[in-house]
Structure 1
């Protein structure tokens, strides 16, 4: 392996996430194979790799590159699993409408070649009011009807698995202070999934959802001002997708005087802006934030977990 390949070593964040398993584990093996994979796909797709985007994600590596004609592109490599195939399917369905465009793909190998966006410029670079305006406009473009033969999991099925994990976590000694919020989140999730399509005015057609939509997942582009990246697509009601945006910049919000009132106003404004039921958005925001908080606590990130759970409790 050449010294040049060392430039494309995985970022520390990715190494911390996948490299903590046993030495013979799949995560470590995949990390070790990355320089060779970069070389292989660069040859196959006639790319000139430039640099690794850092800090990058926790499950993939992003390489900024040039195609044979000199245009910019991004090589995204992820440990092969269903996630890459689903991301590819969603991006292909959107076909550049509100989202990054796929140039080439080998989903079975965990490889996507994407159009080059301004990787260091996200909506978080804007003032909050402007960022929210652009975020909601972009999100509306993504809410399209999925294909009849789509491969995506429903919100109900996805959150059923999350709820099961939360019920197990709430019994742990470290979760004692979070149980009231967790219980409310679980009750809301059950009510929200039971109500959907139950003849009570919530029977909106299922939309293709980004799944992880937040300001940091929207990058500046050339053919459009802002484009979404990194979906973990689902199908279901729009309020679920909007919930992550409702808790965006939570650190700043929680440090503000009157944080609880600000949080509730944010939910109301987002719901009204995108014609989503306020109560359903509140419910999904509380559930998704509590689930994320418990996940952080379980991983040992206590400060982050407690912050998210405190925000959920304010709702």
Structure 2
């Protein structure tokens, strides 16, 4: 079977890491995926499409016929850290690793139902299930871990933002950076976080109704992890007449339901929305940028 990378993966890796770094790996990807499947004796049902933004995922069957998913990601996307986080969660709220000793960097995972995520539910129900799922992931990190901290990741993300402080969205960028600096310097929690938690990262499963996939793990405070969820279905919020007030209510509702400081959640939501909006604009995704920055302005 041909393991051709989905267009979404090609576009996203180029945007995130640059074509010079992503291009050579994408060229090798079909061979890498075929080798990973062969080493494990896997029969491939199909490549998941449109798939994720940082890896190729193939739905496979193990030698005994049991279903699984094979995830092949570039080393610069740090699949080793995803493996470490999934091993630490050990299936608690997240997809389970299906092998103890991997022969390469690919991940063999419990197969979920990629076509059924929390986005298939009505908004109120989806947020309720999302809150219950992410709560399970917030545990103490393993000793001697190699995960970066929220402060480290957001400092790296801040670098290109500082060049936009004199641009069209200068007041918004300045406010987001100020919020980040204050929050990063005053955080008291050190929990293992998903890093990119949102409704589309929570899939239906057989072992449990809902399980998380695709972590970009780091350690820090829970409010950071919750901030991405606040802007889920942002296009619906923008289109609603009461979108601005609904966005602010969502911050308070999620903070209350998960015992998170609403001011800290507000600050991280602002920073993450502005950072994502500027990055989308730089990549030419102007509609996404417009939605995210309008949302951030409501906060």
Q: Structure 2 length as normaliser, TM-score? A: 0.95
Counterpart of 1:185 in structure 2 is 176
Q: Distance in 1 between matches of 2:178 and 2:208?
A: 40
Counterpart of 1:265 in structure 2 is 249
Q: Does 1:211 find its partner at 2:202?
A: no
Contact 2:7 2:50 in 1 (8 A): yes
1:158–1:106 distance in 2 versus 1, CA, 3 Å:
farther
Flag as ranges the 4+ runs of structure 1 deviating above 3 A: 17-22, 105-110
Q: Does 1:47 find its partner at 2:42?
A: yes
| Count of aligned pairs | 297
Contact 1:18 1:59 in 2 (8 A): yes
1:163–1:106 distance in 2 versus 1, CA, 3 Å:
farther
Contact 2:141 2:191 in 1 (8 A): yes
Counterpart of 1:251 in structure 2 is 235
Q: Distance in 2 between matches of 1:26 and 1:290?
A: 26
Q: Distance in 1 between matches of 2:263 and 2:103?
A: 40
Contact 1:188 1:287 in 2 (8 A): yes
**Alpha-carbon shift at residue 139 of structure 1 (Å):** 0.4
Counterpart of 1:9 in structure 2 is 4
Question: Which of these residues, 127, 138, 145, is aligned with residue 140 of structure 2?
Answer: 145
**Alpha-carbon shift at residue 18 of structure 1 (Å):** 4.3
Question: Which of these residues, 109, 119, 130, is aligned with residue 114 of structure 2?
Answer: 119
1:259–1:310 distance in 2 versus 1, CA, 3 Å:
same
Show CA shifts across 1:183-224 (max 9, x none): 00001111112222xxxxxx3x41100000000000000001
Question: Which of these residues, 269, 275, 281, is aligned with residue 297 of structure 1?
Answer: 281
Counterpart of 1:241 in structure 2 is 225
Question: Secondary structure in 2 aligned to 1:114?
Answer: strand
Unaligned runs of at least 5 residues, structure 1:
197-202
Q: Distance in 2 between matches of 1:106 and 1:112?
A: 10
**Alpha-carbon shift at residue 89 of structure 1 (Å):** 0.6
Q: Distance in 2 between matches of 1:142 and 1:75?
A: 22
Higher CA-based Rg: 1
**Alpha-carbon shift at residue 65 of structure 1 (Å):** 0.4
Q: Structure 1 length as normaliser, TM-score? A: 0.90
Q: Distance in 2 between matches of 1:228 and 1:195?
A: 29
Contact 2:202 2:211 in 1 (8 A): yes
**Alpha-carbon shift at residue 109 of structure 1 (Å):** 4.5
RMSD: 1.7
Q: Distance in 2 between matches of 1:82 and 1:228?
A: 18
Q: Distance in 2 between matches of 1:106 and 1:165?
A: 39
1:115–1:96 distance in 2 versus 1, CA, 3 Å:
same
Contact 1:122 1:215 in 2 (8 A): yes
**Alpha-carbon shift at residue 46 of structure 1 (Å):** 1.2
1:107–1:232 distance in 2 versus 1, CA, 3 Å:
farther
Q: Distance in 2 between matches of 1:108 and 1:168?
A: 43
1:275–1:17 distance in 2 versus 1, CA, 3 Å:
closer
Question: Secondary structure in 1 aligned to 2:114?
Answer: strand
Contact 1:99 1:229 in 2 (8 A): yes
1:274–1:79 distance in 2 versus 1, CA, 3 Å:
same
Q: Distance in 2 between matches of 1:104 and 1:153?
A: 25
Q: Does 1:59 find its partner at 2:43?
A: no
Question: Secondary structure in 1 aligned to 2:216?
Answer: coil
